[in-house]
Chain A
C-alpha cells in the first residue's frame, strides 16, 4: 500500500514538467554556480592610494601590495579622498604615504605609513589586514635600511617604517553590524517574494480568478489592489526588524532617514514586483515557491551579504549585479554603517528602480484579464 502511494506521488510529479524542470535544473544550476563562485579568496580588492613621496622607496611599498594580485591600487588626490573612496564603496582599502617618507627613511627615523581598511565586512577586514603585510615583507624592506652597521651605537630597528592600520566605519568589527542590515533584506525578500509569488496563482488554482475577471475591474486596478497590502506589510516588517536591530543590537542610525525610507519602499516594491511576475509565470503554487527559492538562494550567497563581492569571480559577478538584493546590501550598509552620501548610492538606487520598472512592465505585458 505504501508502494502504491509512492508510485502515485511519483506519477503526479512526472506530470508536472515545469516542477520537474525546477527540481532537476535548479540544484544543477545552483551547484555549478556556487562551485565556481564561492572561492572565498578575494582578489583585486580596490585600494585607493595617495603617494606624496613618489620615491623609489614608496614605490616599493606599492608594488609589494600589488604583487600578489590581492590589492588593485589606484591613485587619488588628497588624503581625505582616500576615506571618501572607501565610504562610497569604490575602494575597500586605502594607503597614504606622506611627503617626508623617504627623507625620514634615509635618516633612519622610522616613518609612518597610513593604511585604511573598511571594517564593514569583518571577514574581509581581517583578510585585508593580513594581505597588507605584503607591504612590510622582507622583499620590500630589504633595501630600506640606511644604517651604518659598524656604528656600535645604532640599534637596528625591526622594521624600517611603521605601518599604522586604521579600521574605518566598524572599528570594533562587530559581526552583527555587518549581518543585520542584510538580514532585513533577506527577510523582506522571503516574505514579499513568497506572499506575492503565490497570490495570483492561488486565485487561479482556487477558481476565484475566473469569477473576478467577469467583474468590470481593470487590469491595473486589479494589480495595484493586489499588491498594495503587501507593500504595507513589507514596509511594516522592514521597520519592525530594523527596530529590533536598533533596540537589541545597537545598530547605528542611518545617515538619512529619508533615504532609508526610500530604500525600504523601493526594495519592497522590487520584491513585490518580482513576486507578481513569478505569480504570473507559474501555473501552480508549488512552482511559484520553487522559482522564489531559485532567486533567494543565490541572492544570499552572491550579493555580498555573506561573502564579499570581491571574492566572486568576474564572470559570476554578473549574476550578483542581476540580483536586486546586491544593491540593497550595498545601500543599507552604506546608510547605516558607513554614512555614505546619496551621490555614491545613486547608481544602486537607480538599479533598484530599474528592477521595479522591468518587473512591473513585464507583469503588465504578461498579465491578461482572460483565462
Chain B
C-alpha cells in the first residue's frame, strides 16, 4: 500500500532522512519508531507530500503522492485544525476539501469518536484528548485508504490512548492502512510491523518480536535492587555489557552472549557486599530501543 524507496532528505549538511526504504501492506499498522530527531516527522511529511525528498520515491496505492491525495489522510503532530471554528465547521471544511458531502457519514464519524456532544464547541476549547479525536475525524472525513499519524498519542493519558488504539485496530480491521510514528514502546509494541530509525538511518525492521533480535545474541538479566549509581557504573565497565536500564526496583542488564554470568555476579557483589540473584528475562522493546539508539549514536 505504501512503498518508500531510498528516501533522502538533507537539512543543510545533515541528512535527516538517510536512504530509507520500506513497504507497508494493506490493513497493516506500521510503526516508525525512533528517538527524538531521528527523522520520523520528516519521513511522514515526505510520505504525505508536504515535504519534498531530495531523492528517492514514494508510491501510495501504486500511485504518485500527488495522484493519491484522496487516498490518504494525515494527522500532524501539532493540532492543525482551526481553533476559531467549531468541531462541526472544521469537519465540514475538511470534507469539502475532498468534495465529500455525505452529512450522515460525517455525523456518524462524530458519534464514533464521542464528539457529537461537542459538535458546536469551538475546536480551541476542546481538551487535548478531544482535539486528537477531532484531528482524526477530520483526517477520516474522506474515508481514506491510508492514514498517516504523527505521534498520535503524544501527551495523551493511558485511558484515552487505549481507546484510540482500540480504534486504530478497528480501522485496520476495516482494511485501512495505518502509518504511525512513535517513541513510546508501549505504542510500538501494538504495531504489526515496525521500522526502527535513528539519525535518519534504518536500524532494524520487522515485527515487534523479531525486532528484539536486532540486538544480536544477547542475554538479559534482572536484578532486584534500588537505583544505585555506583553499581550501574561498575556494571557498565565490564566488557560486553550493552545496556543497563532501571525499572523501579528492577535493573535490566543486557550483555553480549559469551560474557560469563558469574563475572557479572562477582562484579555486582563486590559493590553490594552481599549475595545477589540474577534472573534471566526476555529483552523488552524499551531495552532494544535504548540499546539501538546508543549504538547508532556512538
Residues of A within 8 A of B (CB): 206-217, 369-371
Contacts and interface: CB of A to CB of B under 8 A. Distances in A.
B70 interface: yes
Interface string B274-288: 000000000000000
Given A214-B48, A216-B98, A371-B45, A208 B69 contact: no
Contacts of A210: 45, 50, 76, 78, 80
Given A214-B73, A214-B74, A216-B69, A207 B79 contact: yes
7 contacts: A207-B76, A208-B80, A208-B82, A211-B81, A211-B135, A212-B97, A214-B73
Interface in B16-56: 45, 48-52
A87 B214 CA distance: 85
Contact of A211 (B49, B69, B70, B74): B74
A210 B148 CA distance: 13
A206 B82 CA distance: 8
A231 to B, nearest CB: 20
A207 B97 contact: no
Nearest to B48: A214
B50 A371 contact: yes
A346 B45 CA distance: 48
Nearest to B50: A213
Nearest to B70: A216
Contacts of B138: 211
Contacts of A214: 48-50, 69, 72-74
- The 5 lowest CB-CB distance pairs between A and B, nearest first, are A211-B80, A216-B69, A207-B78, A215-B97, A214-B74
B94 interface: yes
B237 to A, nearest CB: 41
Interface residues of B, number: 23
B57 interface: no
B187 interface: no
A206 B48 CA distance: 19
Nearest to B83: A206
A215 B78 CA distance: 17
Nearest to B99: A216
Contacts of B49: 213-214, 370
A215 B80 contact: no
Nearest to A211: B80
A215 B71 CA distance: 10
B51 A371 contact: yes
Contacts of A209: 80
Contact of B94 (A215, A369, A371): A215
Contacts of A370: 49-52
A209 B78 CA distance: 11
B9 to A, nearest CB: 11
Given A211-B76, A214-B49, 7 more contacts: A208-B81, A210-B50, A211-B81, A214-B69, A214-B72, A215-B94, A215-B98
Contacts of B135: 211
Nearest to B94: A215
B133 to A, nearest CB: 15
Contacts of B78: 207, 210
B120 to A, nearest CB: 20
B202 to A, nearest CB: 23
B63 to A, nearest CB: 12
B70 to A, nearest CB: 6
B125 to A, nearest CB: 15
A369 B50 CA distance: 7
Interface in B51-97: 51-52, 69-70, 72-74, 76, 78-83, 94, 97
